[in-house]
């Protein structure tokens, strides 16, 4: 069988074709080209604990369409959703919500709400961080625009369903989410894949703007295929008394590099970030939570828990930066990982930078093997070894699950971990 050689997508012609197909304004095309110009100067986001092997950007195809009617997640009974299958999209807002929110593909918002999009987009995201961030902007080909008006109490979640449906696809998705004053919403992002171990690359960036007094639950469920290279950023910019709960679980993908950032720029703003990872095989998770306290009376609570087996690896990076003007801030950072066998690896690396003495800040971090004495004790009480190990892992993850205040999310993540246990 002859080898199939794909064309190199890393070219100005690719950017021009993307912009033309999407009928983008000139300023957007200029941003793409700025990112492309520095692409060769940037490195992959590697570190002492993360070496990315097998990444091939040149073979990616950013034009592959999909079938949004055949995704693995059933959206039939949902009231508010948008589905992105590769670069193809469909969406729905039930009539009773149409005067409260705007939901559409980002490419449509560029046309219909161009001034608002231009005012907000890319203001918190830095494309010059690494090779993934530059690729993301240069070849951006999907994404969602969410706008919630002031004083809206949304009683149903907004679902964003993303599915990878093709080998060698490059999906570069950017979400712009603007929540009005005193509005409260739940956004559930489901990331799936109908592939096995085929190669593909996904970048997903969400810029989230919380208006004064707003409350946001942003829930992310990540179960991509074992051949996916996945780069994720979620950036929260808070007005006075705005609050966000990030809830993320990490189950799929070959390489996953993620960063949750909260910029607590106004007094009273708050972050809760709960992340749960379960890795097996040769999976690699590199997960960062970064909180910058810029104003007084801000709060953050970060809980990161991971379980790894086989030759999987998880790295937790927690960074809390309390600036000199952020007096009376309150922050706690917790990172804990459990290793189920000698080949698994984990690192928990907390960091606090405190520039004001009148604050409360603390952290805890551990990495350890599963306790064989606990396994023996449970086996003497009638459990077999697999049941004993599973029970210990469930107890280890319980503090993170207790931080998830939404019942259906907690139950869904627990179910997905149970399904993965025997893989």
Evaluate whether 294 touches 264 at the Cβ level (below 8 Å). yes
For residue 384, is pLDDT > 80?
A: yes
C-alpha span between 395 and 158 (Å, rounded): 31
For residue 148, is pLDDT > 80?
A: yes
3-state helix, strand, coil in the chain (%, to 5): 25, 40, 35
* Residue in this structure with the two tokens 């690192």, named with its chain if needed: 347
pTM of the predicted protein model: 0.94
- Measured at the alpha carbon of residue 127, what is the angle toward residues 121 and 128, in degrees to the nearest 5? 150
pLDDT of residue 146: 98
Tens-place pLDDT, residues 237-283: 999 999 999 999 999 999 999 999 999 999 999 999 999 999 999 99
For residue 288, is pLDDT > 60?
A: yes
For residue 56, is pLDDT > 80?
A: yes
For residue 4, is pLDDT > 70?
A: no
Evaluate whether 292 touches 263 at the Cβ level (below 8 Å). yes
pLDDT of residue 7: 56
Tens-place pLDDT, residues 323-370: 999 999 999 999 999 999 999 999 999 999 999 999 999 999 999 998
Q: How many CA atoms lie within 13 A of 127 on its CB side?
A: 21
C-alpha span between 203 and 301 (Å, rounded): 26
Least confident of 159-163, 179-183, 328-332, 416-420: 416-420
C-alpha span between 271 and 298 (Å, rounded): 8
Q: How confident is the model at residue 391 (pLDDT cuts 50, 70, 90)?
A: confident
For residue 182, is pLDDT > 90?
A: yes
Supply the DSSP symbol for 81: E
pLDDT of residue 373: 86
pLDDT of residue 347: 96
C-alpha span between 298 and 270 (Å, rounded): 6
Q: How confident is the model at residue 2 (pLDDT cuts 50, 70, 90)?
A: very low
Tens-place pLDDT, residues 348-358: 999 999 999 99
pLDDT of residue 422: 67
pLDDT of residue 3: 39
C-alpha span between 421 and 423 (Å, rounded): 6
Tens-place pLDDT, residues 186-233: 999 999 998 888 999 999 999 999 999 999 999 999 989 999 999 999
Q: Kindly report the average pLDDT of the chain as a whole number.
A: 93
For residue 385, is pLDDT > 90?
A: no
Tens-place pLDDT, residues 58-112: 999 999 999 999 998 889 889 999 999 999 999 999 999 999 999 999 999 999 9
C-alpha span between 42 and 231 (Å, rounded): 15
Q: Domain-by-domain residue ranges, the chain?
A: 12-421
Higher-confidence position of 218 and 378: 218
Listed in sequence order, the residues at least 6 apart from 16 whose beta carbon sits closer than 8 Å to its beta carbon are none
Average pLDDT over residues 18-28: 95
pLDDT of residue 18: 94
pLDDT above 70 as % of the chain: 98
pLDDT of residue 38: 96
334 forms beta bridges with: 303, 364
Tokens describing residue 337: 């990982």
């Amino acid at each position: 069988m002859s080898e199939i050689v794909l064309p190199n997508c890393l070219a100005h012609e690719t950017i021009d074709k993307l912009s033309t197909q999407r009928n983008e304004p000139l300023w957007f095309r200029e941003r793409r080209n700025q990112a492309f110009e520095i692409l060769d100067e940037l490195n992959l986001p590697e570190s002492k604990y993360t070496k990315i092997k097998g990444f091939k950007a040149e073979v990616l195809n950013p034009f592959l369409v999909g079938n949004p009617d055949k995704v693995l997640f059933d959206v039939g009974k949902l009231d508010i959703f948008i589905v992105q299958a590769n670069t193809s999209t469909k969406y729905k807002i039930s009539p009773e919500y149409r005067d409260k929110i705007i939901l559409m593909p980002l490419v449509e918002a560029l046309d219909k709400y161009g001034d608002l999009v231009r005012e907000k987009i890319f203001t918190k995201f830095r494309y010059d961080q690494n090779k993934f961030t530059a690729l993301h902007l240069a070849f951006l080909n999907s994404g969602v625009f969410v706008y919630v008006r002031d004083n809206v109490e949304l009683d149903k979640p907004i679902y964003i369903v993303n599915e990878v449906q093709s080998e060698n696809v490059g999906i570069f998705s950017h979400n712009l989410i603007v929540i009005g004053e005193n509005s409260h919403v739940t956004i559930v992002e489901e990331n799936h894949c109908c592939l096995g171990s085929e190669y593909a690359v996904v970048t997903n960036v969400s810029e989230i703007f919380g208006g004064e007094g707003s409350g946001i639950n942003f829930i992310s469920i990540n179960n991509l295929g074992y051949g996916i290279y996945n780069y994720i950023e979620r950036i929260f910019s808070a007005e006075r008394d705005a609050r966000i709960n990030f809830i993320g679980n990490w189950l799929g993908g070959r390489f996953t590099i993620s960063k949750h950032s909260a910029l607590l720029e106004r007094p009273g703003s708050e972050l809760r970030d709960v992340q749960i990872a379960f890795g097996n095989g040769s999976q690699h998770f590199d997960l960062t939570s970064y909180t910058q306290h810029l104003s007084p009376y801000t709060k953050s609570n970060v809980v990161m828990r991971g379980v790894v087996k086989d030759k999987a690896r998880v790295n937790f990076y927690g960074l809390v930066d309390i600036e000199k003007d952020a007096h009376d801030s309150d922050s706690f950072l917790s990172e804990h990982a459990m290793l189920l066998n000698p080949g698994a690896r984990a690192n928990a690396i907390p960091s606090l930078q405190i520039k004001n003495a009148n604050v409360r800040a603390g952290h805890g971090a551990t990495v350890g093997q599963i306790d064989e004495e606990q396994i023996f004790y449970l086996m003497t009480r009638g459990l077999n070894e697999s049941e004993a190990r599973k029970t210990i892992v469930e107890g280890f993850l319980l503090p993170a699950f207790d931080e998830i205040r939404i019942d259906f999310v907690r139950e869904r993540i627990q179910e997905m971990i149970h399904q993965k246990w025997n893989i």
